[in-house]
Structure 1
Amino acid sequence: MERLTEIADRLTGIGGVAGVCLGGSRARGTHRPDSDFDLGLYYRPPLDTAALRLLAAELAGEPVNVTEPGGWGPWVDGGAWLTVDGCRVDWIYRDLDRVHRIWEECRAGRFEVGIQAGHPLGVYSPAYVGEVAVGRVIADPGGELRALQHESRRYPEPLREALIANARWEAPFTLACARKGAARGDAFYVAGCLFRAVGLLVQGLHAHAGRWVLNEKGAVQDAEQLPAAPADFAARAHQLFAVPGTDPDVLSTVLDAADGLAGEVCARLTS
């Protein structure tokens, strides 16, 4: 941690960088020995990427590909992958003003879902706030990240209601749409609908418990631990994706199971 603090302090000395937050499994204490260190670089334009490249090369002992903002897509804003002292350290940009805007939207019960490589369910905008809420702030000269973290640790009730309402209508609707694909033996379409429906249920369960969802990885297992989750939620959800072939009757049976799971979750989300 001392080495990370040193790196974070040097990062905040670079033009545009307002603070650094440790995220991912390392912040939550669920990491493995080989887990990456994910450092969120919270910045305001203009970001001095030339200085970032010099620092990255110094830390890694070799040139590092440091992107411009937006270099990795519209939501995973950009950054760099480094190896420092034998450990993988990822720099991930976050536009601080955008995080503040999303926080205001969350407080008003508004969210959006954006397309992003590596996120098959899409990026739910509240994840930007959740990263600060559950992360570990390690450099914050102006105190801005810690202030936002203090505010966002209380999950907004309007956002909770909006995500629950969205799950309760869209998950059953998505599964109803899947029936058309099942009748044609379109396993590809059915599988996509199943993934989307389970993702919506996961979002609803987390919102019901006032818990931030940061991405899809591990989210089904995490949802099973929440108060509104039905028994064996994770096993039942994962079983939906063991679709054997393209037989319409088999696909229909899988959708029956999905409807049952969705019905149980949606009923619990009203309580």
Structure 2
Amino acid sequence: LLQLTGIADFYELLWITHISLLVTAVFMAASLTFEYKYYDNPEVLPFAKSIFLMVAFFIAELIAFYFGDFYPTSTFIRIGIVLFIVSLGIHTLKRLRKAIDNSRKASIMEKLAYIDILTGALNRTAYDRDLEGLGPEDEKVVIAILDVNDLKIINDRYGHSAGDETIRLAYKCINEAFGDYGSCYRIGGDEFACIIRGESVDIFPQRLELFRRLVEETAAEMEYQFGVAIGYAHSEYENHQDIMSFLSHADAMMYTCKRKQKKVSGEFNHDAE
């Protein structure tokens, strides 16, 4: 406007623009310093470095301009802007990668929260969660409770490594028989459970026979006796209030199975149920 009215030439007013830019740069530097010092925000450091890099090239531009070297006019500031964008982009990519890594770690930790480390089975937390999730829409449900026979004796006589191997083998049998048709859990030291829903319930008897055969085959290869007792409840699920009686029935059946196995085999189980 001043140039159009003939009051002042554009070139004569550049110092105002330069001072305004310098004041802006000083204000931004002060703001970033305040944010870092008083709010202890380390996130401002990468941005501050990018800003200071651009300001350094802007100052170089001013020095060249006021010392009469007009050839590189706008060259320094362009380089500064490009470096600012590149620096900020690198920082953004690092933050994005860190966020992805944190998300992946959180996902892994969330999964581990529901996994039994020894066997790889779902754990008691997952079991309780899935029991809570049963509802009226689950018209067909089988809950099986399983218990490894004589685990304490195996631990005492053959060592805890043998006991751990027994638990892993028990889960292997359980998972091979029921894992593709339901969810398998380790809910205690020697205790497991399975929840089977929907149409998979119809083939539970066949999977049960497979489980018994797998236990027998595993027992035949062991240097010590191996057995797993099983009890189950099979019902059309109607009300969450029935869950305790539902579980009690499965638990009682499992202990009946265990007593029968011990009666047949004595101290150790030779023939798995």
Instruction: Check whether TM > 0.5.
Output: no
TM-score range, shorter chain: under 0.3
Q: Which has the larger radius of gyration?
A: 2
Q: Which has the higher strand share?
A: 1
Per the normalisation by structure 1, the TM-score is 0.23
**TM-score when normalising by structure 2:** 0.23
| Higher share of residues assigned helix | 2
